[in-house]
Structure 1
Amino acid sequence: MDTLEAMTMFVRVVERGSFSAVARELGTTQPTVSKQISALEQRLGGRLIARSTRQLSLTDEGQRYYRQCREILAAVDNAEHSFQTGREGVAGPLRIASSVSFGRLQIAPRLRGFLQRYPDVTIDLQLSDQNVDLVSEGVDVALRIGDLKDSSLIARQIGLTRRLTVASPAYLEQHPAPQVPSDLARHNCILFNLLEHFDTWTFDAGLHQVQARGNVRSNNSEAIRQMVLSGLGISLSPSWLYRKDIEAGRVIRVLEGYTPSSLPIHAVSPANRRQSARIRAFVDFLVEAFAADEDLAVV
């Protein structure tokens, strides 16, 4: 058995969640993939995958081995590229985690530019509106918006999320636009509930604070946008989410004389994971890209 080949196959099975999917990907058969994993388990002396008719799940030992395999395979890729070029190259797999809306609208469109610059990198973009555990999920770098709670992470601020208070013309036809932040008490506020103090809306560096109230909340920014467009209420949301809507007149800024507090954007990595060349290159690429974007630049 080729151990590296078996490790590669194991990692792909975990990430694809299917023996047959990996078989198609590698141009082999499902029994061949299953045999390789079984041989690997026999060599290790324990089960890696708990098989069932519905899904594959990792044993505790399998979780640890998966993380170690990713590190080993990445090191092999880097060693080969380093041997060829005389230095550690920007190459190999890169697993990125982001919230759904930010990842879809701000990360995914920029990946083509990054991969044109670094064609030897392969990207696995994982989108979730929950902060996943970076170690157990094998994440190399995650993009997080807002203040960080986990001080054990390696973190670098790469941008700012500027926010606007917005509503649709239909909503404002039925409800007079707020003139000062305290007027929000008379409005239906749509709340993004993943932030720690999601119902406290702060303006002008804390000079004005309002307890926002409303009949809907969500953990997804794009869902909130759809509610705003439908005329349901007022939202305090990222400016990058509404830029085109404002230009088209689909939403209107309110309280323009009051500046909502911005949220920091951090790139974070597990403290026990080596900062590879591809992680550093990706983070540097985002810093450069965000600096050119008025909605994300740090000024």
Structure 2
Amino acid sequence: MDLFDSMHTFVRVVERGSFSAVARELNMGQPAVSKQIRALEQYLGGPLFARSTRHLALTDQGQRFYSHCQEILGHLETATLGFARGQERIAGPLKVTAPVSYGRLCIAPLIGTFLQRHPDVRIDLRLSDHNEDLLKENIDLAIRIGAVKSEGLVAVSLGTSPRRVYAAPAYLDRHGQPCEPDELTAHNCIGFTLLEHYDTWHFKHSAGALDVAIKGNVTSNSSEAIREMVLSGLGISLSPEWLFAADVEQGNVHSVLNDYETTALPVSAVFSRERRRSARVMAFVDFLRERL
């Protein structure tokens, strides 16, 4: 019995929930898959699945072994791909997508440095505030802000995006500056609709946590549009620091409620499992992790 091969088959059975589905995936008969799992159980000295149930269910020992298998096989894949990438020349086309504002302000300025390191790579940077279908559009890498829910994709953390509450001086002159989060209910708050629960802003303070249900006469799915509306004095927004950094420095916008911490958004590099074998994709991911 090949232990690593059997562990891989076991993990796929758990993830697919069916012996027959894994048999089709691995181009082998279902009896062969069952035999491999039985041999693994004999090697371990106990059952991995509860056979009395109508559906596949892991035993307690099976659940623990599954967690260990994921970790072990993940390390093995990382080591294998790392060795292969070390032999592969970093060159060729690289299609990257990112949110419009984040791509313009945070990703585009880094492209030149990356290409200095890897001059044989050709980058096609596509900016969109909608999550592109990576497989359909043949995209190598997507930069996503917020929770990543796409199944079948690999997400690598690039860090987090801290947020603050922003308003233009003209707006604050007309409506006053909120000193406590609950005072936001009396203000015109602009919601970013691409985020879940965009109409509830979460704050933390030494005294505890607070959720505020915000209200306003405008929402948008574009952070660029929200920035322009804040600059025009229309209302208040909860936005990433990078979106208003230059405006704050120039005095065109003020951050308020600075004694309160807001929830930072995760920033991830997302790609298909097949792209993990690409030296240029992983080189760009490593570069972004270093810089971001």
Relative to the length of structure 2, the TM-score reads 0.68
| Offset, 1:151 | 3.6
Residues 97-112 of structure 1: matches in 2 within 5 Å? 97-112=97-112
- How has the CA–CA distance of structure 1 residues 208 and 101 changed in structure 2, closer, same or farther, with 3 Å as cutoff? same
| Residue type of the alignment partner of 1:261 | T
Q: How does 1:3-152 map to 2 (within 5 A)?
A: 87-152=87-152
Residue 93 of structure 1 deviates from its aligned partner by: 0.8
The match for 1:262 is 264
Task: Give 1:274 shift.
Answer: 4.1
Contact 2:141 2:269 in 1 (8 A): yes
1:267-278 alignment runs, 5 A limit: 267-278=269-280
Shift of residue 87, structure 1, vs aligned partner: 2.0
- One-letter amino acid matched to 2:94: L
Q: Tell me whether 1:238 sits opposite 2:263 in the alignment.
A: no
For 1:156, the aligned partner's letter is V
The alignment's TM-score, normalised by the length of structure 1, stands at 0.67
Listed as ranges, the gaps of 5+ residues in structure 2 are: 1-83
- Identity across aligned pairs (percent)? 54
Q: What SS does the aligned partner of 1:115 have?
A: helix
Q: CA–CA distance in 2 between the matches of 1:275 and 1:204?
A: 41
> After the TM superposition, which parts of structure 1 deviate over 2 Å for at least 4 consecutive aligned residues?
271-275
Larger Rg: 2
Q: Answer yes or no: is 1:214 the counterpart of 2:216.
A: yes
CA RMSD of aligned residues (A): 1.7
Q: In structure 1, the residue corresponding to 2:155 is in which secondary structure?
A: strand
CA distance in 2, matches of 1:273, 1:122: 16
What are the within-5 Å matches in structure 2 for residues 272-287 of structure 1? 272-287=274-289
Q: Deviations over 1:191-213 (max 9, x none)?
A: 11101111111112881111111
Matched residue count: 207
Q: Which residue in 2 is equivalent to 1:73?
A: none
CA contact (8 A) 2:276 2:282 kept: no
Moved more, 86-95 or 281-290: 86-95
Candidates 223, 226, 232, aligned match of 1:224: 226
1:102 & 1:274 partners in 2: Cα distance? 24
State the SS of the aligned residue for 2:136.
coil
Paired letter, 1:185: T
CA distance in 1, matches of 2:127, 2:135: 16
Residue 253 of structure 1 aligns with an amino acid whose one-letter code is S
**Which residue is equivalent to 1:251?**
253
- State the shift of 1:239 in Å: 0.2
Counterpart Cα distance in 1 of 2:193 and 2:140: 26
Aligned equivalents of 2:272, 2:283: Cα separation in 1: 17
Unaligned runs of 5+ in 1: 1-81, 291-299
Q: Measure the CA separation in 1 of the matches of 2:141 and 2:213.
A: 34
Could you tell me which residue of structure 1 aligns to residue 165 of structure 2? 165
